[in-house]
Amino acid sequence: MKHLILLWLLLTLPSLAAERVVSIGGDVTRIIYALDAQSQLVARDSTSLRPAQAARLPDVGYMRQLNAEGILALKPTLVLASAQAKPSLVLQQIARAGVRVVTVSGDNSLQAIPQKIITVGQALQRESEAQALVQQITQQIRQLPQQSLPVKVLYIMANSGMKTMAAGNQTAADGAIRSAGLENAMGSVPHYQALSQEGVIAAAPDLVMIGEDGLKTLGGEAQLWQLPGLALTPAGQQHRLLIIDTQALLGFGLDTPQAIMKLRQAAESLNHD
């Protein structure tokens, strides 16, 4: 009998230790998969589209429009939420129902990436895997060229139903451009700003950067160069365009160092022209 109980304990312990995790934030989900902890994942938010398997998990909705009961119905033991989802009464309700809620940094900086990995690793008790991943990422970050390059980059955001905007300072795009050692052409104004003809000409970008979806919204590259003022800029005259993976470059997650490297290389190849 004693043996049976021991056997039962041995068999059930691992399943007792396993968490049921709800991940909120695309960068957080990506890290959970990288730490090979996806077996504990029961749901994700609508921004978590990577890796592709994640999209098959139940979607709890947009991170700022969560539904407390919907999440609790999945019987989670741990909610890993990006700080970008806060402040949130829903997350507070979930915490009050006895579920552990861990906040992961939401900063738009390269330094935030190792922090995010460590937070997720600790919460999931995968410290050693997290350490290895942090080393790998810091390595990638260290390999990024430090010296600045006088290339002005303009990031254009085009969401359907909204005005076409350019990224000023204090945006994720600004963080990415500066991390690549480049200049943000619109760096003198804060936040996202509507594209103005004269503003764009005065900013004189050497390179225009846009997401795949944004380009689709505009109706293709030919349409992009028709945007007010763009044709009169160095980038517009030579049609220098970089189509980026917005989630990778602007998410400040695992794919960001490589995406920044690509941006840097694109800028360097311009200088050789």
Partner 1 sequence: MINGNALQGLTLMLIFLLVAMVVAANLGAMSLSVRALWQAPLSDLIWQIWLNIRLPRVLLAVAIGMALAVSGAVMQGVFRNPLADPGLLGISSGAGLAVALAIVIPLALPPQLALWLPMIAAFIGSLLVTLLIFSFSRLAEGNLSRLLLVGIAINALCGAAVGVLSWLSDDQQLRQLSLWGMGSLSQAQWPALLICLLLILPALLLLQSRARHLNLLQAGEEDAHYMGIDVKRTQHQLLVLSALLVGTAVSVSGVIGFVGLVVPHVMRFCLGSDHRWLLPGSALAGAILLLLADTLARTLVVPAEMPVGLLTSLIGGPWFLWLILRQQRGFE
Residues contributing to the site for partner 1 (CB under 8 A): 43, 46, 58-62, 64-74, 84, 87-90, 92-93, 96-98, 170-172, 190-192
CB of 45 to partner 1, least distance (A): 9
CB of 172 to partner 1, least distance (A): 7
Find tokens 């794919």 and name the residue: 255
* Beta carbon nearer to partner 1, 88 or 109: 88
CB of 113 to partner 1, least distance (A): 18
CB of 104 to partner 1, least distance (A): 15
* Beta carbon nearer to partner 1, 46 or 136: 46
CB of 109 to partner 1, least distance (A): 14
* Beta carbon nearer to partner 1, 25 or 236: 25
Please list the alpha-helical segments (H only) found in 54-154. 68-72, 89-96, 112-123, 127-143
Distance from C-alpha of 224 to C-alpha of 213, rounded to nearest angstrom: 12
Do you find a cis peptide bond into 76, omega within 30 degrees of 0?
A: no
CA distances from 14 to 74, 77, 120, 166 (A): 20, 15, 20, 50
Distance from C-alpha of 239 to C-alpha of 75, rounded to nearest angstrom: 52
Six-digit token string for 162? 């909204």
**Kind of pairing between the strands at 165-167 and 152-157:** antiparallel
* Beta carbon nearer to partner 1, 191 or 239: 191
* Beta carbon nearer to partner 1, 77 or 136: 77
